[in-house]
Amino acid sequence: MTESFNVVVVGSGPGGYAAAIRCAQKGASVAIVEKDLVGGTCLNNGCVPSKALLASAHTLLMAKNAAMMGIDIPTYSANWSNIQKRKDAIVSGFRKGLTGLIRANKIKMIQGRGIVTGPNKLVVENDSTQLEVEADKIILATGSKSVEIPAIPCNGTNIITSKEALELKQIPQSMVIIGGGVIGCELACVYSTMGTKVTIIEALSRLIPMEDEWVGRILSREFRKLGIESLTSQKVISTEPTDGLVKVTLEDGQTIQAEKVLVGVGRKAICDKETIDNLGLAMNGSAVAINNKMETNVKGVYAIGDVVGTTYLAHGGFAEAEIAADNATGHDAEMCDYSLIPRAVYTFPEIASVGKSEETCQKEGIDVSVGRSFFKANGRSVGHNETVGEIRVVRNKANEKIIGITMVGSAVTELISAARALIGSNEKITDITFPHPTVSEVLKEAWEDAFKISLHTPPSV
């Protein structure tokens, strides 16, 4: 029997389920094909479980620092098994919620591997059964996988990816993390706070290399305080499991023994080879090539999220889902400037940015003025004992517009959406009142400083 829908979405991660719900809201009959757990990487092995573990680690850090706030907590310790149970309960709760939401939107959930056989046809393989499905429009949202290093094969036990790192049964004594990007740095915060001796090996010259140099500098300094060692401009050339430990050899001959090695060197788009071949999909390396309407080279077939390799962020997938859903249901929409999709790193301290970085402006020859403000000068932040970091606001001198904002500090991932709303706006910062005392006043001060009108910065002599 063949089932027919207006739109079939392959993959139920943030890209896939968001596109499906939007299409359903616009009146389309919709099915999602999912071969694994509903919610994709984000819900099951990514954003949600990693943030749950980070929250437990942050609570432990607060207990450690409580004496500084005048609070005596005589004994406290991490109960890893309960931390894991809490994380699993959060994930399964959201999975249940998402399943209900999909059902409430009258979207048909089809379990199995979806292979696109033609512009309007799919087969869904599930164990021994095969279901044929027809669709006016198809949206590919098949996600990504961890990048592997051929010389350092993961074995799932002591040489692991982020997936296993989120599910360890015990807190390891030591861990080498290969890759100082977002995933490596976040998991370094979790495990070092729990007592693991963490060493990060990063091939480039700084942590979080996609942000400006000063960001990585602050992070390395704060990581040292947490006991995390960051070896930058260093490459791992081999790993060798010996006597229950793994011997990690670096390019300069140095060796490190660790109980676990986490390979966290990025994500890579995945789309089934059969689908690529059957459709003759144009590719950009492993990613499906798309235009700014999220259309592939095949009429009626769209692609969104990690499989298009644009942001590798859940909210990047959400944004692309809106565009694909509009276009697949007869409307006309185009993707925004990708630099306006905020970037967020949930380390201790957090990092968040939107728009152009200072280094990008320099490369593009844009003449800018940079406003700065520091958390240590903010009343609320000092009260919270969270004084690390600063906010920088980049102003384009040619047109007086704000074109980029970068933040390092506690909870800045919550502040970046407000900053995004201000980019390119014609609002005068002096006309916007920020409540006092709030951490957000650091944004106002940095903004004012970009125009050299900051109230609390002494005049330069």
Binding site residues, ligand FAD, CB under 6 A? 10-16, 33-36, 40-42, 45-47, 50, 113-114, 141-144, 162, 183, 272, 305-307, 312-315, 317
Torsion of the alpha carbons at 74, 167, 97 and 127, rounded to the nearest 10? -160
User: Catalytic one among 315, 331, 384, 436?
Assistant: 436
Distance between first and last Cα of the chain: 80
Identify which of 243, 288, 201, 226 has the alpha carbon closest to the alpha carbon of residue 11: 288
Q: How far is the CB of 60 from ligand FAD (least distance, A)?
A: 20
Nearer to ligand FAD, 342 or 371 (CB): 342
Angstrom distance (rounded) from CA 450 to CA 457: 11
Q: How far is the CB of 417 from ligand FAD (least distance, A)?
A: 13
Angstrom distance (rounded) from CA 113 to CA 441: 49
Nearer to ligand FAD, 344 or 361 (CB): 344
Strands 260-263 and 174-178: parallel
Q: How far is the CB of 254 from ligand FAD (least distance, A)?
A: 27
Q: How far is the CB of 247 from ligand FAD (least distance, A)?
A: 26
Q: How far is the CB of 138 from ligand FAD (least distance, A)?
A: 11
Nearer to ligand FAD, 165 or 176 (CB): 165
Angstrom distance (rounded) from CA 102 to CA 340: 29
Residue 9 contacts residue 90 (beta carbons within 8 Å): no
Angstrom distance (rounded) from CA 67 to CA 311: 41
Report residue 282 as tokens.
Answer: 């144009």
Nearer to ligand FAD, 46 or 371 (CB): 46
Q: How far is the CB of 343 from ligand FAD (least distance, A)?
A: 9
Looking at residue 133, its amino acid is: V
Q: How far is the CB of 220 from ligand FAD (least distance, A)?
A: 21
Cis preceding linkage at 349, omega within 30: yes
Strands 30-34 and 2-10: parallel
Q: How far is the CB of 105 from ligand FAD (least distance, A)?
A: 17
Neighbouring residues of 418: CB distance < 8 A, sequence distance ≥ 6: 440, 443
Angstrom distance (rounded) from CA 338 to CA 354: 10
Residue 281 contacts residue 275 (beta carbons within 8 Å): yes
Neighbours of 428 (CB within 10 A): 8
Nearer to ligand FAD, 144 or 234 (CB): 144
Nearer to ligand FAD, 14 or 389 (CB): 14
Angstrom distance (rounded) from CA 126 to CA 105: 24
Residue 207 contacts residue 200 (beta carbons within 8 Å): yes
Angstrom distance (rounded) from CA 129 to CA 112: 9
Angstrom distance (rounded) from CA 62 to CA 67: 9
- 384 labelled catalytic: no
Nearer to ligand FAD, 166 or 446 (CB): 166
Nearer to ligand FAD, 113 or 293 (CB): 113
Angstrom distance (rounded) from CA 227 to CA 154: 26
What letter does residue 289 receive in the DSSP assignment? Answer: P
Torsion of the alpha carbons at 375, 380, 381 and 385, rounded to the nearest 10? 150
Kindly write down the DSSP assignment for every residue of 261-329, as one continuous string. EEE---EEE---HHHHHHHT--EETTEEP--TTSB-SSTTEEE-GGGGTS--SHHHHHHHHHHHHHHHT
Nearer to ligand FAD, 344 or 402 (CB): 344
Q: 47-64 vs 80-104: helix axis angle to the nearest 10?
A: 140
Q: How far is the CB of 252 from ligand FAD (least distance, A)?
A: 29
Catalytic residues: 436
